[in-house]
Chain A
Amino acid sequence: MTYTNRADGSQINQPAASGVRAQSSGGSGKSQVNRLRGGQIDPQQTLSFSFDGKKYQGHPGDTLASALLANNVRLMGRSFKYHRPRGVLTSGSAEPNALVELRTGARQEPNTRATTAELFDGLVAKSQNRSPSLKYDFMAINDRFSNFLTAGFYYKTFMWPKAFWEKLYEPIIRKAAGLGSLSFEDDPDEYDKGFLHCDLLIVGGGPSGLAAALTAGRAGARVILADEDFMFGGRLNGETFDIGDQIGREWVAAAVAELHAMPNVRCMSRTTINGAFDHGIYSAVERVSDHLPVPPEGKPRQILWRIYTKRTLLCAGAIERPIAFENNDRPGIMLASAMRDYANRWAVTAAQKVAVFTNNDDGHRTAVDLIAKGVKVAAVIDTRTDAPRIADCELLAGAQVIDTAGRLGLNFVKVRLADGTDRNIECGALGVSGGWNPNVHLSSHQRGRPVWNDQIAAFVPGPDGPPGLTAAGAANGDFSTAAALKTGSAQAAAALSDLGMKASTIDLPETEDAQPNQTPFWYVKYGKGRAWIDQQNDVTVKDVKLAHQENYRSVEHLKRYTTLGMATDQGKTSNMGGLAIMAELTGQSIPETGTTIFRPPYSPVPMGTWGGRARGKHFHPTRETPSHKWAVENGATFVEVGNWLRAQWFTKPGETHWRESVDREVRAVRESVGVCDVTTLGKIDVQGTDAAQFLNKVYANAFAKLAVGKTRYGLMLREDGVAMDDGTTARLSEHHFVMTTTTANAVNVYRHMEFVRQCLFPDMDVQLISTTEAWAQYAVAGPNSRKLLQKIVDPEFDISNEGFEFMACREITVCGGLRARLFRISFSGEMAFELAVPTRYGDALMRRLMEEGKEFDVVAYGTEALGVMRIEKGHAAGNELNGTINALNLGMGRMVSKKKDSIGSTMSEREGMNLPDALNMVGFKPVNSADKVTAGGHLMTKGSPVDAAHDQGYVTSACYSPILNSSIGLGFLKDGANRMGEIVSLVSPLTDLNVDVEVVNPQFVDPEGVRVRA
């Protein structure tokens, strides 16, 4: 087997092939004042885009966020509650702040992370959750009142006056809440779903994932390597390390090229593995066309893959965590790694002068790299008093950022120095590093708990994660590049060896191998203001303290009371902070306080993607009957019956109301002859030497003695004694029966019969096959039905009343030799037959019947006329077999044989199903013939109060009978069999109806059954 790696360039490590109309301009132009040199963008091509109506330029390889930063735009969004001005916090999918409405019109896409949106020429983005503009947002008034809007304040107020909640408070809250907007237009894009299979799924294409893929790929295993980014490389794209004698990204490119050439490896960029489900099934979303203005013709926007894998290696890296301090949310304040990513990968800085605030060595790298790019780094502020000097800039050891300033973007930070004095440091951006959290997300999707690793002060994947999943690299707490390569290769080899495959680890070049060196530090305790933990939901340190004070102390209470971690980023950068603060408040360790686990999906997935192509007319497959084409040509109106489309009635020229058509069809059948396509009824072939015995088990009434060439009505019960289905079963030969089921229950009945066959009576010689589709079956009904059929049935077959009496069946030929089956059964109450031929001849047979029937003024009739006639004849159907009705209710109590064991016979003897005043099926006729019987109406004894306590039953089916010139109905009435002739009230307050109806025999037409036997 080999994979087809899609050769559209998206799989190889090149910047986005995004520029359908990219202009070659050379250079960044003056507008991109914060563009640096280098990076993995293509400065030779310029892409135009707009944000909030203003035009900007960027380059292939940019994200919307990097391009905005290049253009000196730091302000990108507003927070949920306080509408605080916000910029990027991250450079990837964990972004809580920089959410925009991307694209316009029906493609408008709310809450899109600017940090992952690939730039294309003509991209249009709009800020959201602000009014009238991002800079001047009226709702920012909330920030002024933030002291009143603390965690859970809404649980304590808005209770009075009682009526004000729905009318006043809630509408205001709802309008203010929410983030982006939907367009309210149908999503015009298409989405695919697909299925992939592999030995090893590698989640993440950073150093550990690439090393793992090389290891497994070279060993010949079927490998899927997926990364959410549009480029493989992971952190290596944002770092400047060398790997061996190559710079990092060259090593990545070489590895990807090698993998791409392997037929057993499928490299999937722009593909997020977002859920770990049972038994090695993972869900993945591939963003096929999101980097393009519109998807190419016939191509999907995204694909939802279901991946079946034997082993999984989690190489998802780690996410840096922030430190909480007063006003730590101003645009320009971001994770130190993000600042580094923007500089190294995208050649962008958020400001010309920056600073770094860290509790670990890794933060210093940001300073080093930005200095190397020519950006001025004002200082590295390190909480550790013994912080090492790494970058060539001022180091403030033992210092903390205690406040910041700048209304719409950072101007300066206020630092409390080790000696207790304060100093303002001017900077337009601050990189913050509080250490790293392994990206354990997928490992907890099956409710397995991560475990605490004291050395890195973070949770790592625990032992009870999804079976078959292991982790490597930073996702497992091995943070250095060397460790990532090494563990990636080793874990891949181990996974394969677990599968009995041979694999050896690959030779690893030397590279960065720094030990994580940090002192845990969660929040700055100085200051009285607000320090944000969850930036999107505006959860601050104070909120956590309040939750503690009010005894919402378990992690779940904390989360729910404060909404911490409930935003669109699912707490990727905030959960740990909240947990650590609660731990401190309760005096417990972090692992004692709790863990945070994650629910799928890893990152949010469009509903369209989950839906795939099952939309609109293709929501479910359509089943067409053999006469469908003829019906279309002859004015049929169709109705959905399950997945079937059935002709409901046929409109003749001049008919303006459906009732005209239906009445005509009914009269024609009752007076002459009509044809109805009844192919949809389930047909089950029952064969074998024990077939008759088997039918005795599944039907409540007896079948063993049914003669060959005869058909019998059968009532099928569930084991609880309630009616499950009914139909007719014909005995074609000693060991061959054909059963019909109702259209709706065909599948259930077949399944039930296989259960009875395989699980209850495994030694019976009986075989079942569903043959519903194989035969086109038409009901030919009416006094002239025999005459019509005699023109078609080959003459050697006698279908006279004597030769083929009511309930007869026979295999015959028609039209000069076509094999067919003929049953003399009737749903309408008229003399009637059902004729079946192989489906391919169904169309021709319909046409022939209509042609030959002309002399009898034959009509085609639809489900509506069928329904009218079965009500007139008092036959129960789906409306009556509603899952609560037993044989007694149907007037068939005596059919349930006590002489044999059948499914449901024992339980149908229970007291509650045999009450003296049990419901009986009866007919109803309005006393005043102009009144209408309404299905769903309830029955009251005449003169009794109209309320539930006096309910006597209900009407199940109703119609207008053109034969009786009256509305009629069927239904269930308490002790109805003994109330014939009584006038009862039919009430339907829902439709404002209360009429008197007479209780009558449900067989309105031909109760003696003369016509069917004619």
Chain B
Amino acid sequence: MSVHDLKPITPLWGTAAQIDNLGDMRISECPDWALASIAARRGQEDAMAAAANKFLGVALPDVARSASKDPFTAFWTGPHQWMIEAPHDTHEDLAAQVKSALGESASVTEQTDGWVRFDLEGPHCDDVLELLCNADTRTMEQGDVTRTQLEHLGCFLICRAAGTHFSVLGPRSSAGSLHHALITATKSAT
């Protein structure tokens, strides 16, 4: 890992992640994740899938699904495209690691700081999310992923545990707006 002396800042401008507890609901800013997207080179779809399986220890998931094997989670983002997630502490250079594993079979792009991740936890996730996006979260099972619009923002919504734990990945520059939306919806729904 790099030894530079620049201090990172969270999407909500903190030195540490922001946690909001609202009744029995919790909204957490989760900055400690590295992200890299992979897209199969034309004709290399199978080669990439095999290489990714080897690197991740788990097969790339199907459409609108995620697959996890510690320390990685991969989720589908588009035709022949996935996002890989891993802890930032250990995988700050995730894109480089992935690129060296997948080689010329894939185009790899660092996305770590393109996104802000908020985790929504508690018994009223569905009630909150139905005020925010059109995803039918009540039918989402653990590992389901969908891209949806939330506060006019294109976001990924990942079901970590049905009904009780979701991750929202939104554009980092709008972290404040997204956070505001999550807070107001939670207050309204609970």
Contacts and interface: CB of A to CB of B under 8 A. Distances in A.
A–B in direct contact per CB < 8 Å: yes
> How many A residues are at the interface, by size bracket?
35 or more
A848 interface: yes
Contact of B8 (A194, A306, A813, A840): A840
Interface string A618-634: 10111111001100000
A146 interface: no
A962 interface: no
Interface string B171-190: 11111111011001101100
B4 A818 contact: yes
Contacts, number: 162
Interface string A1-16: 1111000000000000
Contact of B152 (A192, A614, A735, A813): A614
B121 interface: no
Interface residues of B, number: 57
Contact of A765 (B43, B135, B178): B43
A817 interface: yes
Contacts of A685: 107, 109
A20 interface: no
Interface in A814-832: 814-819
A507 B42 CA distance: 61
Nearest to A690: B42
Interface in A786-827: 813-819
Contacts of B7: 841, 844
A2 B125 CA distance: 12
Contacts of A679: 173
Interface in B1-43: 2-10, 13, 31, 37, 39-43
B144 interface: no
Interface string B124-139: 1011001111111011
Instruction: Count chain B CB atoms within 10 A of each CB in A194, A643, A765, A813 and give the residue with the most.
Output: A194
Contacts of B85: none
A616 to B, nearest CB: 11
Contacts of B173: 623-625, 644, 679, 773
A197 interface: yes
Contact of B10 (A613, A618, A840, A848): A840
Contacts of A765: 41-43
Contacts of A964: none
A745 interface: no
Interface in A756-779: 763-767, 769-776
A767 B133 contact: no
A298 interface: yes
A845 interface: yes
Contacts of A629: 9, 13
Given A197-B138, A688-B107, A773 B172 contact: yes
B179 to A, nearest CB: 11
Contact of B4 (A299, A775, A814): A814
Contacts of B187: 298-299
Nearest to B138: A1
Given A4-B124, A4-B127, A621-B174, A767 B107 contact: yes
Given A767-B39, A769-B39, A816 B5 contact: yes
A769 B111 contact: yes
A816 B3 contact: yes
A689 interface: yes
A624 B176 contact: yes
B177 A621 contact: yes
Contact residues of A: prevailing secondary structure: mixed
A227 B187 CA distance: 25
Contact of A845 (B2, B6, B171, B188): B6
Instruction: Count chain A CB atoms within 10 A of each CB in B113, B127, B139 and give the residue with the most.
Output: B113
Contacts of B151: 621
A840 B115 CA distance: 10
B66 interface: no
Interface string A710-736: 000000000000000000000000011
B6 A815 contact: yes
B177 to A, nearest CB: 4
A210 interface: no
A618 B180 contact: yes
A687 B152 contact: no
Interface in A574-628: 613-614, 618, 620-625, 628
Contacts of B130: 194-196
B114 interface: yes
Contact of B113 (A3, A625, A773): A773
A629 B12 CA distance: 10
A507 B2 CA distance: 73
A817 B3 contact: yes
Contacts of B153: 621
Contacts of A614: 152
Given A774-B113, A816-B5, A819-B93, A764 B188 contact: no
A308 interface: yes
Interface in B136-150: 136, 138-139
A300 B188 contact: yes
A511 to B, nearest CB: 35
A837 interface: yes
Nearest to A769: B109
A848 B6 CA distance: 8
A613 B2 CA distance: 43
Contacts of B175: 624
A299 B113 contact: no
Interface in B29-63: 31, 37, 39-43
Contacts of A817: 2-4
B119 interface: no
A843 interface: yes
Nearest to B77: A769
Q: Which A-B residue pairs are the 7 nearest by beta carbons?
A: A1-B138, A687-B107, A839-B113, A765-B42, A817-B2, A621-B177, A774-B114
26 contacts: A2-B138, A190-B188, A192-B185, A613-B184, A620-B152, A643-B174, A687-B39, A766-B42, A769-B111, A771-B109, A771-B110, A773-B171, A773-B173, A774-B111, A774-B113, A816-B2, A816-B4, A817-B4, A837-B6, A838-B110, A838-B112, A839-B113, A839-B114, A839-B172, A840-B9, A840-B31
Interface of B: 2-10, 13, 31, 37, 39-43, 81, 93, 107-115, 124, 126-127, 130-136, 138-139, 151-153, 171-178, 180-181, 184-185, 187-188
Interface of A: 1-4, 190, 192-197, 298-300, 303, 306, 308, 613-614, 618, 620-625, 628-629, 643-644, 679, 685, 687-690, 735-736, 763-767, 769-776, 813-819, 837-845, 848
